[in-house]
Amino acid sequence: MRAAIVLLGIFWSTSLCAQAAQPCVGDEGLSDATHLSELREAAVRVKVVQCSGGSQDEVTQAFVEFIEGNQDWFARFGGFENDLNPMAVIKQTLAAGRTYDIPSIGISLNDELQIGAAFFAPASMATCQARAAPEACPNVFDEFIEYYTHAHTAYATPPRLAFVQGVKALSGEWDRYLTASRGFTTLEMAFNSAMYKRNESVDFQNPPDIQWILLHPNIVIENVDDAADGNNVEEAIVVDIFGMNWWRQDKWYMPTGFAVTGVYSDRPEVQDWGYGASLFFDSVYTVGYSNHDGDHGVYVSFDLLKLFQDKEQVYDRLVSRLREN
Amino acid sequence: MAKKTLVVVHGMGQHTKASVKKEVDDAFKAAFKLYDSLNGAKPSDKFDLVVFEYNSFFDDYRSALEENSNDILEALSGISGDLPPIPKLAAAITQLDNSVKEDSFFNTHWLDVVLYRFSLLSEPIRLELAAVIGEAIARVGSTNVHVLGHSLGTAVLHDTLAKAYGAEPLERDGKSLKLLSNRDRLGGVHQVANVSRVLESFRNVDASEVRPGHGCCSVFVEYRHKLDPFTKVKPFDPTDNEEWISHAVWRSAYQLVEPSSVTETNVHGLGHYLRNPMVHLMLFRLLFGFRPNVSEKTAASDKYLAGTVQGKATALRDAVDNLQLTEESVGELLMAGKAFKDLVKSFGEKF
At A63-97, the pLDDT tens digits run: 999 999 999 999 999 999 999 999 999 998 888 98
* Nearest Cβ partner for B87 among A109, A159, A322: A322
How many angstroms separate the CA atoms of A137 and A125, rounded?
Answer: 7
* Nearest Cβ partner for A174 among B71, B87, B123: B123
- Going from N- to C-terminal start, the domains of chain A cover 24-163, 195-324
Q: Is the dihedral of CA B308, B312, B314, B320 positive or negative?
A: negative
Which residues of chain A carry a pLDDT beneath 70? Answer: 1-23, 302-325
Nearest chain B residue to A204 by CA distance is B163
How many angstroms separate the CA atoms of A263 and A213, rounded?
Answer: 16
**Cβ contacts (< 8 Å) between B118 and chain A: which residues?**
190, 193-194, 197
Contact flag B120-A207 (C-beta cutoff 8 Å): yes
> Which residue of A237, A240, A290, A309 to mutate against B (max B Cβ within 10 Å)?
A237
Q: What is the DSSP string of A76-137?
A: GGT-BGGG--HHHHHHHHHHTT-GGGPPP-EE-TTS-EEETTEEE-BS-HHHHHHHHTTS-H
Query: In 3-state terms, what secondary structure has residue A224?
Result: strand
Given this model, what pLDDT does residue A313 score? 58
**Cβ contacts (< 8 Å) between B204 and chain A: which residues?**
none
Distance from CA of A195 to the nearest CA of B (A): 9
Question: With bands split at pLDDT 50, 70 and 90, how would you rate the model's confidence at B137?
Answer: very high
Contact flag B201-A200 (C-beta cutoff 8 Å): yes
How far, CA to CA in Å, does A184 sit from each of A210, B139, B242? 13, 38, 46
How many angstroms separate the CA atoms of B273 and B261, rounded?
Answer: 10
Kindly report the backbone phi and psi dihedral angles of residue A310, in degrees, each rounded to the nearest multiple of 5, phi listed first.
-80, 120
Instruction: Read off the CATH number of the domain in which B336 is found.
Output: 3.40.50.1820
Q: Is B169 part of a structural domain of the chain?
A: yes
Given this model, what pLDDT does residue A71 score? 93
The answer to whether the beta carbons of residues A265 and A219 sit under 8 Å apart is no
**Cβ contacts (< 8 Å) between B214 and chain A: which residues?**
116-117
Query: 3-state secondary structure string, chain B?
Result: CCCEEEEEECCCCCCCHHHHHHHHHHHHHHHHCCCHHHCCCCHHHHEEEEEECCHHHHHHHHHHHHHHCCHHHHHHHCCCCCCCHHHHHHHHHHHHHHHHHCCCHHHHHHHHHHHHHHCCCHHHHHHHHHHHHHHHHHHHCHHHEEEEEECHHHHHHHHHHHHHEECCCCEECCEECCEECCCCCEEEEEEECCCCCCCCCCCCHHHCCCCECCCCEEEEEEECCCCCHHHHCCCCCCCCCCCCCCHHHHHHHEEEECCCCCCCCCCCCHHHHHHCHHHHHHHHHHHHCCCCCHHHHHHHHHHHHCCCCHHHHHHHHHHHHHCCCCCCCHHHHHHHHHHHHHHHHHCCCCC
Given this model, what pLDDT does residue B41 score? 95
CB count, 10 Å around CB of A251?
9
**Which region among A15-24, A80-89, B109-118, B310-319 has the lowest average model confidence (pLDDT)?**
A15-24
Given this model, what pLDDT does residue A256 score? 93
Given this model, what pLDDT does residue B22 score? 97
Given this model, what pLDDT does residue B10 score? 97
The answer to whether the beta carbons of residues A158 and A171 sit under 8 Å apart is no
Q: Is B78 part of a structural domain of the chain?
A: no
Instruction: Kindly report the length of chain B.
Output: 351
* CA B140, chain centre distance (Å): 23
* Nearest Cβ partner for A239 among B72, B90, B121: B90
Kindly report the backbone phi and psi dihedral angles of residue B171, in degrees, each rounded to the nearest multiple of 5, phi listed first.
-125, 135
* Nearest Cβ partner for B71 among A109, A139, A315: A315
DSSP state of A174: H
Nearest chain B residue to A200 by CA distance is B202
**Cβ contacts (< 8 Å) between A93 and chain B: which residues?**
182
* Nearest Cβ partner for A205 among B123, B130, B208: B123
Distance from CA of A21 to the nearest CA of B (A): 24
Nearest chain A residue to B135 by CA distance is A164
How many angstroms separate the CA atoms of B54 and A125, rounded?
Answer: 46
pLDDT (mean) for B240-267: 95
Nearest chain A residue to B137 by CA distance is A160
**Cβ contacts (< 8 Å) between A139 and chain B: which residues?**
289
Each residue's pLDDT tens digit, B158-214: 999 999 999 999 999 999 999 999 999 999 999 999 999 999 999 999 999 999 999
Given this model, what pLDDT does residue A228 score? 82
Nearest chain B residue to A169 by CA distance is B175
pLDDT (mean) for B9-36: 95
The H or E element containing residue A22 is none
The answer to whether the beta carbons of residues A275 and A263 sit under 8 Å apart is yes
Q: Is B87 part of a structural domain of the chain?
A: no
* Nearest Cβ partner for B96 among A167, A187, A318: A187
> Which residue of B45, B62, B111, B119 to mutate against A (max A Cβ within 10 Å)?
B119
Given this model, what pLDDT does residue A210 score? 95
> Which residue of B143, B247, B249, B286 to mutate against A (max A Cβ within 10 Å)?
B143
The answer to whether the beta carbons of residues B143 and B136 sit under 8 Å apart is no
Tell me how far apart the terminal alpha carbons of chain B are, to the nearest angstrom: 37
Single-letter residue type at A239: V
Contact flag B94-A217 (C-beta cutoff 8 Å): yes
Given this model, what pLDDT does residue A181 score? 84
Distance from CA of A18 to the nearest CA of B (A): 27
pTM, full prediction: 0.90
User: Higher-confidence residue: B96 or B156?
Assistant: B156
Question: Minimal CA–CA distance to A240: which of A264, A222, A207, A271?
Answer: A264
Q: Is B268 part of a structural domain of the chain?
A: yes
How many angstroms separate the CA atoms of B115 and B152, rounded?
Answer: 11
The answer to whether the beta carbons of residues A272 and A224 sit under 8 Å apart is no
Q: Is B69 part of a structural domain of the chain?
A: no
Given this model, what pLDDT does residue B162 score? 98
Give me the number of domains chain B comprises. 1
**Cβ contacts (< 8 Å) between B89 and chain A: which residues?**
215, 217, 239, 262
